[in-house]
Every structure is written in structure tokens, then in C-alpha cells.
Amino acid sequence: MNVAKSGYRVFSANSSAACTELAKKITERLGVELGKSVVFQESNRETRVDVKESVRGQTIFIIQTIPRDVNTAIMELLIMAYALKTSCAKNIIGVIPYFPYSKQCKMRKRGSIVCKLLASMLAKAGLTHIITMDLHQKEIQGFFSFPVDNLRASPFLIQYIQEEIPDYRNAIIVAKSPAAAKRAQSYAERLRLGLAVIHGEAQCAESDMADGRHSPPCVRNTTGHTGLELPSGKQQAPFPGIELPIMMAKEKPPITVVGDVGGRIAIIVDDIIDDVGDFVAAAEILKERGAYKIYIMATHGLLSADAPRLIEESAIDVVVVTNTVPHEVQKLQCPKIKTVDVSMILAEAIRRIHNGESMAYLFRNITVDD
């Protein structure tokens, strides 16, 4: 396809060469060239973006993969979007396979909902649409003032299970916590496999954390208080003291595996694998219960800190993730990590959005809980 006649441009907002691999694969599938731009860091660590071609009146797609330096990647995306906006681009669509700060989408204690802040920043910078994949919580789409297409990686991961796992019919889908049970059930139903759930004190689900609205009420000492004096001179009855029932501390039961994994291949599914401690603990429990091989399937392989070493030393046999996040270094450190390419669905989403076609085909056979 001739770039000049396509009616749209595809840019990469990454300054790191390792992060542009996904953008190159997408443009190859689309038959277009990657837009000419320069993204780099100044000596004082400020981000600079120079667009090297005219984008006036064009629909622009910015592909931004998120490396370990999350905040730099966000600034690169914001600055490029604003640069394209001021260059009179018609529409600016962000292709962000892994949406950063998606775990900070709930109020916790006296923190903030950072995901909502990021959504507002992207809108202010000039983005008019976002294509992403497997948001940590689907409700995040409500933070945006423009359309969000939340694609799914499950068809690619299910295909990997069917084609690359010998005797997958003897497998069982495992949720490492009750919170992940719906996702696991979706996989189990489509693969016609059984379902197991790990539950107990070894797990630390997000729902157990304070949501920021449990501060104790102010204690008012009403001793000797005769009431409030109103401007009219009348007295108002004193505010009654609040007596709340005693809040019993939540106590989790001993670790339990609900479902028979003995003599089976255990496949743990989740959306993000970052701190692998929970996965390693789950693998050890499944081994104790008789599972003879353990796979981890996740969309976003962040694999931070010592994750490759911990995986290599654990009972986990294979970790399968997509290429929404660059992880070539981690693969060199741990041969157990395998990659599934999802550039096909991202390229098709770009083509359909540009041509004004329905996106329903990309969500066929996808359940609400997936």
C-alpha cells in the first residue's frame, strides 16, 4: 500500500529500539511504512519529539509499547500526541497494547485513582481514540471521554494451548485466586476443560486492600455540650454520637485447591504477570496436589525485578505471554518464557477503524468475563 494514498500514518512514540519491534510488525501487516519521527531524551532527561513529515488532515495512529521506564514512555506518548495535534492532524488514535497504571484504578486509603488521571492527560494531549488489550479492569474504559477498544488476547493464548501443549485435553484451567475465577472459567468453557481455584491465606487479592473509605469517624466529645446556638437564638439538639458495630478482622482459611489437579496439566491464566511470587507459590501448591506440568498464560509479561530467575528456579514449566510488552532480555535470562505474537489483531483493528468497519468481528466468541 502506498503511504501517500493510504490516508493515514502510523508512528512509533518509543525512543528505545527494542520497543519499536511491535510497531514494525504491525506496519508490515498493514503494508505501510512507519512514519518519520525522532523521539529522544535530552541530556537533562527531557523528552523531545520531532515529526519529520506533514500530517495535516491525516488520521494518525501512535503505537506505544510500555518498557520498564513507564513514566518516560508516557511522556513520549503525550508529547508526540500534542505535537501531532498542533500539526493539524485530523484524528489521533493511540495504540497502547498494555495500558500503564491500570492496577491503580481504585481508591486505596488516601491515594488517588492514577488511571483516571492518565486518561484525562491523554485526552488533553489530543488523543481521540484508544486501542488497547486486556485492561486490568474493564471499567477503566469509563475513565475516558473518547472511545476505547479493549481487544482480547485470549484467542491467541487458547490457540497456543491447542497447538503447543501436548495432551492438552488432560489439562485443567486454574485461577490462582477467587478474583481470577471468571477469566479462568471463560478459558475452561472454550477449551472444554475443567476448572480449579486456589483459595486461602497464601493469596493476597486486591479486594482485600482498603479502598480509602474506611477512615474512622471523627470522635466528638459532647460532654457538657448544651447544643448549637442558631442565629435566631434558638438551641439545636446536640449531634448524637455514632456507634458502629465492631468490625471483625477478615481471616482467610488455610490454603485450599478447589478442584482435582492430580495427574493433570495445570494451566494458570491471568492478565498480567509482573511480581511472580504469587505464581511461584501457586505452582508449588499445584505440584503438591499432584499436577505434573504447570503452565502460566498471561497477556502482559512485565516480568519485573528478579522474575526471570524466580521462574527458572520454580516448579513452573512454561510461561506464555504476548508481545504487548517487550521482554527479550527476560527471555534470554529464562528459556521457560515463550512469546505469542498479537500484531495481527492490532493491525486489523487499525485497518477497520480507518475504514469505518465494524469491530464486532474481533470480539467473536469472546465472553463478557474474558
The residues spanned by each domain of the chain are: 8-151, 155-202+254-340
Question: Looking at residues 191-195, what average pLDDT do you find?
Answer: 96
Ramachandran bin of 227, using left for φ above 0, alpha for ψ from -120 to 50, beta for the remaining angles: left
Cβ burial of 312 (10 Å; 0-12, 13-18, 19+) is middle
Q: Which of 101-110, 168-177, 251-260 has the lowest mean pLDDT?
A: 251-260
**153 Cβ contact list (under 8 Å, min separation 6):** 133, 134, 299, 322, 324, 340, 342, 345
Range among 98-107, 241-250, 343-352 rated most confident: 343-352
Summary mean pLDDT of the chain: 87
What's the CATH fold of domain 155-202+254-340?
A: Rossmann fold (3.40.50)
Q: Does 278 have pLDDT greater than 80?
A: yes
pLDDT at 342: 96
pLDDT tens across 37-92, in order? Answer: 999 999 999 999 999 999 999 999 999 999 889 999 999 999 999 999 999 999 99
Q: Does 226 have pLDDT greater than 80?
A: no
pLDDT at 222: 44
Q: Does 234 have pLDDT greater than 80?
A: no
Contact 161, 267 (CB under 8 A): yes
CATH 3.40.50.1000 fits 8-151, yes or no: no
**219 Cβ contact list (under 8 Å, min separation 6):** none
pLDDT at 229: 54
Grid cell in block for residue 153: 488476547
Choose among 160, 156, 148: nearest CA to 359: 148
* Phi, psi at 174, each rounded to 5°: -120, 135
Count, residues in the chain: 370
pLDDT at 74: 96
Q: Does 204 have pLDDT greater than 70?
A: no
Q: Which of 193-207, 279-293, 301-315 has the lowest mean pLDDT?
A: 193-207
Choose among 170, 204, 165, 337: nearest CA to 282: 204
Grid cell in block for residue 72: 518516560
User: How many Cβ atoms from other residues are within 10 Å of residue 102's Cβ?
Assistant: 19
Q: Does 215 have pLDDT greater than 80?
A: no
Widest pairwise Cα distance in the chain: 85
Q: Does 213 have pLDDT greater than 90?
A: no
Q: Which of 105-119, 210-224, 330-344 has the lowest mean pLDDT?
A: 210-224
Contact 258, 164 (CB under 8 A): no
